A and B are shown apart, each in its own frame.
Chain A
Amino acid sequence: MSAPPSERTVSPLIFDQGQRGRANRYVERGKALDAFLPRNLLRDELPLPENTELDVVRHYTRLSQRTFGIDVGFYPLGSCTMKYNPKVNDTLASQHEFADLHPFVPDELAQGALQVMHELERSFCSLFGMAAFSLNPSAGAQAELAALLVAKKYFRDRGETQRDKVIVPDTAHGTNPASAAMCGFTVISLKSDTRGRVDPAEIRKVLGPDTAVCMMTNPNTLGLFEERIHEVTDAVHEAGGLMYYDGANANALMGNTRPGDMGFDLMHLNTHKTFTIPHGGGGAGHGPLGVAAHLIEYLPTPYVVRDGDRYRLDFDRPKSIGPMRSFWSNFAHAVRALAYLYANGAEGLTKASQYAVLNANYLRVKIAEFLETPYPEICRHEFVASAQRLKKETGVRALDIAKALLDRNFMAPTIYFPLIVPEALMIEPTETESKETLDAFVDALREIVETAKRDPQSLMNAPVNTVVGRVDEARAARQPDLRWDPHV
């Protein structure tokens, strides 16, 4: 057995390496700096790391080799759409004409960049059936908040300030209740029916003059398509509320169906998921917010307007909720997303979603041979398996399976979400994986389940092949130690 994590070779922090005075000083602190900075603000006692260039290069190269990402292996993280990110997108985004553009450059000197934003916005509108998109929010959760701020302002303008309830089904995206609460709404959670769908009759029971927004994703987090979505959106509209579509699962839709046609008034996209931008490290994201015609004037600013063959940034939108963040969001992501859109075209995007659905169903059927799949029907881009039976028989939980997958060079799926499936494993393969990769994943999972029946203890110690072994998640949450402190 491998040594416990503390005894394995976890790299010391860069602060704990090197020696005082060892730093390579390519730039000597000269008179110019001293003259520029007030003397009383200069600090000599700052314990900055002092390492040679070689030590620094080795340190960060080693760390980069120890991370796991889509470029290293299969990453079936449900609801996160970890698909391959074509490198050409990065090349295009890092062209100096885009990368070196100063955010304060006048519109007339940034026509190309504005054209990128405009064409991306128009493409999203036609692909998802919305009237306009704001590219300003820089993450999914930020777009959710922006959408709810839009709704709030819309209702205030209509004198309907009593609308303070947001309905969130238990199959919605996990961040929705938090966004609603952050925006000052009261959350009503709605139980899904035995088929994992929202029952229009159930939603009618909670609708009323206090209904502001119903937040859904379709397909939902079980990977199931809400066939009665029109009944749901009609009921919410009749009650005077707005429908919000969470774009977490948009990878199942492209070119096949559109939230706008389903009756959604607001939606966001995670371009970092659906439109191939490297993600998973906590940023930088991109969360364009789309709206139907009646909400356009509330969108965050700025909005790119096309006048003839010229483009300009429009800030003069009195009803706008204002910008969600500085400048033009993560503009390089707009370049990446547009490159992906144009490389695939409408037909390619439609196929991409269809292959994502095919891959998910292939895995679902294969995995059902040895794990429960509580909703055994055709799924969309993802599905949920359960380790409940295995846990009863062997004590091995979804968490242990996830850790054991790391030992076998696969990233773990999302676990314990959605909450309605006990011991959930939420698996999203995406369209960019080959059949061989999917088969290898099934084999690894099958072998783990067989090991659970023979030698459960070995899985409870997993992972044993990774640089860091089983971490104490409870201690990490109870006593988080997030900051380096020179005095400890």
Chain B
Amino acid sequence: MATPQDLRYSKEHEWARVNGDGAVIGITDYAQRSLGDIVYVELPKVGEQIKQFGSIGVVESVKAVSDLFTPLSGEVVEVNGALDGDPAAVNRDPYGDGWMLKLKLSNPDETKSLLSAEEYDKLAAE
């Protein structure tokens, strides 16, 4: 799966689709493939304030339980409740139906510290 050009990426394999002071967050195709079949996703609560690179939840696969980190700071305005019943959406469509949360960014400038698709591909290839 090609890494979408319009997203920004963290070294911890999360993506952010930034639109003004809002952003949608998820994990990358590389991350879902490394984790294997995802069986549970634990997300923060709506209204919670989260800080860039902080641990905000858990992604559990048949292999392992991994922390979920946020690539950007802000307030959680929506979480993808559909993942409760269908965590496999993260495996099927990591950049679409498998999105995890929506943020109202507290510091949109942080986006600059994230990687481009090209930079991220280089990291994932290592």
Q: Interface on A for B, CB 8 Å cutoff? A: 399, 415-417, 419, 422, 473-474, 477-478
Contact = CB atoms under 8 A, between A and B. Distances in A.
A422 to B, nearest CB: 7
A466 to B, nearest CB: 18
B58 to A, nearest CB: 11
A474 B64 contact: no
B88 A419 contact: no
B63 A478 contact: no
Given A416-B64, A419-B66, A422-B34, 4 more contacts: A474-B39, A477-B39, A477-B60, A477-B62
For the complex of A and B, list the 8 residue pairs with the smallest distance between their C-beta atoms, beginning with the closest: A474-B37, A477-B39, A416-B63, A473-B62, A478-B39, A416-B64, A474-B62, A419-B64
Contacts of A478: 39-40, 87-88
Interface residues of B, number: 13
A474 B35 CA distance: 12
A477 B63 contact: no
Interface string B29-47: 0000010111110000000
A394 to B, nearest CB: 16
A473 B34 contact: no
Interface of B: 34, 36-40, 60, 62-64, 66, 87-88
Contacts of B63: 399, 415-416
Contacts of A416: 63-64
A328 to B, nearest CB: 35
A419 B62 CA distance: 13
B64 to A, nearest CB: 5
A422 B38 CA distance: 17
A477 B40 contact: yes
Given A399-B63, A416-B63, A419-B66, A474 B88 contact: yes
Contact of A417 (B38, B62, B64, B87): B64
24 contacts: A399-B36, A399-B63, A415-B63, A416-B63, A416-B64, A417-B64, A419-B64, A419-B66, A473-B37, A473-B62, A474-B37, A474-B38, A474-B39, A474-B62, A474-B88, A477-B37, A477-B39, A477-B40, A477-B60, A477-B62, A478-B39, A478-B40, A478-B87, A478-B88
Contacts of A473: 37, 62
Nearest to B39: A477
